[in-house]
Structure 1
Amino acid sequence: MRILKYLFDFYIQSSLHVALAVYALIRITFLKLNISYDESVAYFGFFGTIVGYNFIKYDELARIKKIKLTKTFKAIIVLSFISAIAAFYYFLELKTKTKLIGFGTLLLTILYTLPFFPHKSNMRNWSGLKIYLVAIAWVGVTVLLPVLNAEFDFSILVILKCIQRFILVFVLMLIFEIIDLQFDDLKLHTIPQKLGVKQTKRWSYLLTFIFFVLDFFKPNITNQQLLITFLVGLILITFTFFANSKRTKYYTSFWVESVPFIWLVFLLIFS
């Protein structure tokens, strides 16, 4: 039992779960836009997320707090190194204009983690900016990368998909901020810190409603697709409703981040 818990914790801490969530959203983009599956885009998103998230999570700890090199941390370093090689390989397989988006996401990750100016804090500590940066990065990787690499027409459908994806990630991040309210520095000025939990949840419900309504503006939308989007929205509302600072870390790091998997499963089953 202890071994299973260790493996599960490693799965979460090493960013494998969040990387699979990114992979699921890329697959969803392929399915929703009828784009042929592209291994280079999907795996670049997967391995790049492992590298990016582990860099964000552990760089400052390693540089400033000098954490001990435990077996788990060493394993995460090895996984990140292998993932970096794999991400670079699949990066080379991308088309030139797609590489620009991939490079832009990498640059955003670096600036998010390292100080932008000497003697200044990094972008992660800029008041209220974190949630928007994360949502924009996820839109770039999970929507723009597949669209550009497939040379798909940048139509109203793609624009709606970008807005919808931004809202999805934004709402998921709001849940994270509610859960982390008791730990976040007040200088971060997160949305729950500024608006309070109740008001933040009201905004989440409104954004989730918009997330669903956007489907009605898509050409040739089917009742089946509307139902799937409605179910995903219902799941978002449920997670938001039950979010509070007393929840365990697994509430967000596993269950909330599983929403993309659930969405993908719905599409695979009902499509």
Structure 2
Amino acid sequence: MKLLKHILNFYLNSSIHVALSCYALVRITFHVFHIQYDEPMALFVFFGTIVGYNFVKYDALVRVKKKPIRNQLKIIALLSLVSLVLVGYYFFQLERITQIVSFGILAITALYTLPFFPNRKNARNWAGVKIYIVAVCWVGATLVLPLINAGIPFTADFFIKCIQRFILVFVLILVFEILDLANDDPHLQTVPQTIGVKKTKLLGLLLLVPFCLLELLISTFNYKDLFINMIMVAMLSLFIVFAATNRSKYYTSFWVEAVPIFWWISLSLMH
């Protein structure tokens, strides 16, 4: 049992789980816009997420706090290095325009982590900004890049899906912020810190309403996808309702982050 727990913790701490969630959203994008499976694009996002998230999570721990590097962190560093090599490999298989846009997303990630401006903390610590930066990065990586690489024009469907994807990620992060309320710096001004837990839950539930309604405006709308979307929304609604500061870390780091994975699997099984 201890071994399984160690494996699970490594799986989560090394950002493989969140990378799989991003990969799932890329596959959903392929499905929605009828894009043939693009392995370099999908794996570029998968390995890029591992590198990006591990850099964000452990940079301050090692560079700023200068804490001793434990064995698990050494393995995560090795995994991140291998992932970085694979990111480079798949990067050169992408279209030139995709490469250029991906640098923009990389710049936002770097801004999120590193203090570029004098006398200012990194963007991660800017009051009220964190949730928007993360949501924009996810939309860019899982929706914008795949469409650009496939050469698909930006139609009304694209903008509707961008809004939907932003809402989805925003709501997922709200659940994280509720659980992190006790540990977050008060100066971060996260949504629960600003409006309280009850109103944050209400906001999350209300945002899922336009998420569902926007699906009806998609030109390729079909009832099968709508049904699956409703199941995903119902699942996410339960996670919002039962979110609390005393929940286990696995509540968000495993179950909540698994929502896009379950969504993708459901779509795959139904088609």
Q: TM-score range by the shorter chain?
A: over 0.9
What SS does structure 1 have at the residue aligned with 2:181?
Answer: helix
**Deviation per residue, 1:32-57 (Å, 9 max, x gap):** 11101101110100000000000000
What SS does structure 2 have at the residue aligned with 1:17?
Answer: helix
Deviation at 1:105, TM superposition (A): 1.1
Task: Kindly report the root-mean-square deviation, in angstroms, between the aligned alpha carbons of the 2 structures.
Answer: 0.8
Q: Does 1:34 align with 2:27?
A: no
Cα distance in 2 between the residues matched to 1:244 and 1:261: 23
Amino acid at match of 1:136: V
Amino acid at match of 2:228: I
Q: Can you give the 5+ residue segments of structure 2 that lack an aligned partner in the other structure?
A: none
**Deviation per residue, 1:14-38 (Å, 9 max, x gap):** 0000001000000000011110110
Amino acid at match of 1:42: A
Cα distance in 2 between the residues matched to 1:226 and 1:8: 32
Asked if 2 retains the 8 angstrom alpha-carbon contact of 1:228 and 1:263, the reply is yes
Asked if 2 retains the 8 angstrom alpha-carbon contact of 1:116 and 1:123, the reply is no
Amino acid at match of 1:227: F
Deviation at 1:118, TM superposition (A): 2.2
Cα distance in 2 between the residues matched to 1:210 and 1:193: 24
Asked if 2 retains the 8 angstrom alpha-carbon contact of 1:180 and 1:245, the reply is yes
Amino acid at match of 2:93: E
| TM-score, scaled to structure 1 | 0.99
Partner in structure 2 of residue 211 of structure 1 = 211
Deviation at 1:65, TM superposition (A): 1.2
Asked if 1 retains the 8 angstrom alpha-carbon contact of 2:179 and 2:243, the reply is yes
Q: How does 1:226-265 map to 2 (within 5 A)?
A: 226-265=226-265
Partner in structure 2 of residue 159 of structure 1 = 159
Cα distance in 1 between the residues matched to 2:145 and 2:164: 16
Asked if 2 retains the 8 angstrom alpha-carbon contact of 1:22 and 1:142, the reply is yes
Cα distance in 2 between the residues matched to 1:68 and 1:7: 21
Cα distance in 1 between the residues matched to 2:66 and 2:9: 21
Amino acid at match of 2:154: F
Deviation at 1:92, TM superposition (A): 1.0
Q: Does 1:8 align with 2:5?
A: no
Q: Can you give the 5+ residue segments of structure 1 that lack an aligned partner in the other structure?
A: none
Partner in structure 2 of residue 197 of structure 1 = 197
Q: How does 1:54-203 map to 2 (within 5 A)?
A: 54-203=54-203
Deviation at 1:227, TM superposition (A): 0.6
Deviation at 1:216, TM superposition (A): 0.6
Q: Does 1:50 align with 2:50?
A: yes
Deviation at 1:116, TM superposition (A): 2.1
Q: When the two structures are aligned, how many residues end up with a matched partner?
A: 271
Cα distance in 2 between the residues matched to 1:127 and 1:36: 41
Amino acid at match of 2:194: K
| TM-score, scaled to structure 2 | 0.99
Cα distance in 2 between the residues matched to 1:239 and 1:72: 30
Partner in structure 2 of residue 20 of structure 1 = 20
Cα distance in 2 between the residues matched to 1:77 and 1:250: 22
Amino acid at match of 2:17: H
Percent of residue pairs identical: 50
Deviation at 1:265, TM superposition (A): 1.1
Cα distance in 1 between the residues matched to 2:112 and 2:96: 24
**Which one is further off, 113-122 or 162-171?**
113-122
**Which one is further off, 99-108 or 238-247?**
99-108
Cα distance in 1 between the residues matched to 2:229 and 2:28: 12
Asked if 1 retains the 8 angstrom alpha-carbon contact of 2:62 and 2:69, the reply is no
Cα distance in 2 between the residues matched to 1:6 and 1:225: 37
Cα distance in 2 between the residues matched to 1:198 and 1:39: 42
Cα distance in 2 between the residues matched to 1:27 and 1:67: 38
